[in-house]
Amino acid sequence: MSTKGRGRPRTYDSDAALGAALEVFWERGFAATSLDDISAATGMARPSLYAAFGNKKSIYRKSIDKFNREFLGQLEAVLFAGTGIENDLVNFYLAALPTYRSGDRVARGCPVICTATVEAAVDDTIQGDLAAAFDHIDGALVARFEQAQADGELPGSAVPSRLGMLAAALLHSLAVRMRVRQKGFQAEQFVRASVGEILKT
Amino acid sequence: MSTKGRGRPRTYDSDAALGAALEVFWERGFAATSLDDISAATGMARPSLYAAFGNKKSIYRKSIDKFNREFLGQLEAVLFAGTGIENDLVNFYLAALPTYRSGDRVARGCPVICTATVEAAVDDTIQGDLAAAFDHIDGALVARFEQAQADGELPGSAVPSRLGMLAAALLHSLAVRMRVRQKGFQAEQFVRASVGEILKT
DNA sequence: CTCATTTTATACCGTTTCGTACAAAATTAA
DNA sequence: TTAATTTTGTACGAAACGGTATAAAATGAG
């Protein structure tokens, strides 16, 4: 690992490689993705992959971590945009949809919720990463409802922790539903209707 | 395939074998489960597995289908028990928890939502099975809210289709959260609080 | 120009994978 | 008892897997 100095210069960009690796993990899941798949997607030979990021699980964790930082950061910015609780919340979900719909062949939902969850039952480190990501989302949503209550947008009888967990459930459902691809499911309509129900006093 | 007649009698029970196969798929996911794993779990040699159920994907689909029939049937019975919408709904989720918590090592959530969803992006037949299962749950929940409205338990202004999809989101969230195993997550508390919010006029 | 250093790329190793061929075993029909 | 039929269990084969040893290639330092 050297940014400069003696030696043959590396031909890859670490961040781009992790992004390309995520794409294949996202489509096929962790177990069904081979190092050859990652090698083809990144253009890096297997020994280079190993030297740069470690073994397959390590590559997976690093690519998921990168996704979490970028994606959750973007979602949180929308959630705390300050356009009122209803608007912020609707925009929060709508901001996730383009990512959940992405994919060359078909929509793939959320890479974290849809691929890491499987591994969580047999791999404790991935389970830890995943639980931390869930905690992070829960915390952000609860905090947003607390802020709304402080701003007088919610009655004093409202319970932000309950609303936050309910709002998180909406995101989980969207994350898997977009990958399940039921015919006739209207994501935007579902988002607006559900947020309306949640905020109904 | 013969129930009686000439030939060496089979030593396995098809239903029990599919149940044992589901256990390993449930813990490790489809891709990470080998035919040797299934062979060990069922006590059937690989050629017998192949003769009885077909290839790995066929075994998976049959075992998931058996789970869906049994589990969803059980949940629907609770949902339509007729003890009032709030009780029925709470009991619906609570009835799912023992299954979601089951597992020798750790809780494994829902086998359908947590393992089939990964494959849905690359396998169209599994995607079709999965979408049908989701449609089924959606339909049952929406029907239950329609019934509640007809029974006068919900105001005329309520929209059963919206409430049903919101209630389905709760189940999806529970199904993955039980496998994610966040510290401090209280499932029963979450269920009661969320149902209370949903039914809050 | 020479040498130390770092990355690349080929090739290999042992293991595991899915699927099947084949003979032995166990039953019923004749 | 003999023959036909079905399941079982061993054993095999080709392919794919994760991971690594090793030499060639490409740079900077001296």
User: 10 Å Cβ neighbour count for B139?
Assistant: 12
Instruction: Choose among A138, A163, A169: nearest Cβ to B170.
Output: A169
* pLDDT in the model for residue B79: 98
What is the ipTM score, two decimals?
0.95
* pLDDT in the model for residue A1: 47
Residue B52 CA distance to nucleotide D11 C1' (Å): 20
The verdict on A124 touching B (C-beta cutoff 8 Å) is no
* pLDDT in the model for residue B177: 98
User: 10 Å Cβ neighbour count for B136?
Assistant: 13
* pLDDT in the model for residue B2: 55
Nearest nucleotide, C1' to the C-alpha of A58?
Answer: D18
Instruction: Sort out which chain B residues have CB atoms less than 8 A from A162's CB and list them.
Output: 193-194, 196-197
pLDDT at B1 over 70: no
Instruction: Choose among B120, B165, B182: nearest Cβ to A135.
Output: B182
Tell me the average pLDDT across B32-36: 98
Instruction: Choose among B109, B118, B194: nearest Cβ to A169.
Output: B194
Verify if strand C has an atom below 7 Å from the CB of B95. Answer: no
The verdict on A120 touching B (C-beta cutoff 8 Å) is yes
| Predicted TM-score (pTM) of this structure | 0.96
| Alpha helix stretches (DSSP H) within A54-186 | 56-79, 85-101, 111, 117-119, 124-150, 160-180
Give the rounded percent of residues in chain B with a pLDDT score beyond 70: 98
Torsion, CA B179, CA B184, CA B189, CA B195, rounded to 10: -60
- Residue B146 confidence class, pLDDT cut points 50, 70, 90: very high
* pLDDT in the model for residue B172: 99
Instruction: Sort out which chain B residues have CB atoms less than 8 A from A57's CB and list them.
Output: none
Contact assignment for B118 to A118 by CB distance below 8 Å: yes
Domains, in order of start, for chain A? 64-200 (1.10.357.10)
pLDDT (tens digit, 9 = 90+) per residue, B164-192?
A: 999 999 999 999 999 999 999 999 999 99
Is residue B68 within 8 A of residue B74, CB to CB? The reply is: no
Residue A4 CA distance to nucleotide C7 C1' (Å): 13
Alpha-carbon distance A74 to A54, whole Å?
Answer: 28
pLDDT in tens, chain A (201 residues): 456 678 899 999 999 999 999 999 999 999 999 999 999 999 999 999 999 999 999 999 999 999 999 999 999 999 999 999 999 999 999 999 999 999 999 999 999 999 999 999 999 999 999 999 999 999 999 999 999 999 999 999 999 999 999 999 999 999 999 999 999 999 999 999 999 999 997
Is residue A180 within 8 A of residue B168, CB to CB? The reply is: no
Is residue A61 within 8 A of residue A128, CB to CB? The reply is: no
Nearest nucleotide, C1' to the C-alpha of A5?
Answer: D28
The verdict on B182 touching A (C-beta cutoff 8 Å) is yes
pLDDT (tens digit, 9 = 90+) per residue, B67-79?
A: 999 999 999 999 9
Sequence-distant (6+) residues with CB within 8 A of A69 are none
Interface contacts (A, B; CB < 8 Å): 147
Contact assignment for A177 to B27 by CB distance below 8 Å: no
* pLDDT in the model for residue A85: 98
């510290």: which residue's tokens? Answer: B183
pLDDT (tens digit, 9 = 90+) per residue, A127-152?
A: 999 999 999 999 999 999 999 999 99
* pLDDT in the model for residue A3: 60
The verdict on A106 touching B (C-beta cutoff 8 Å) is yes
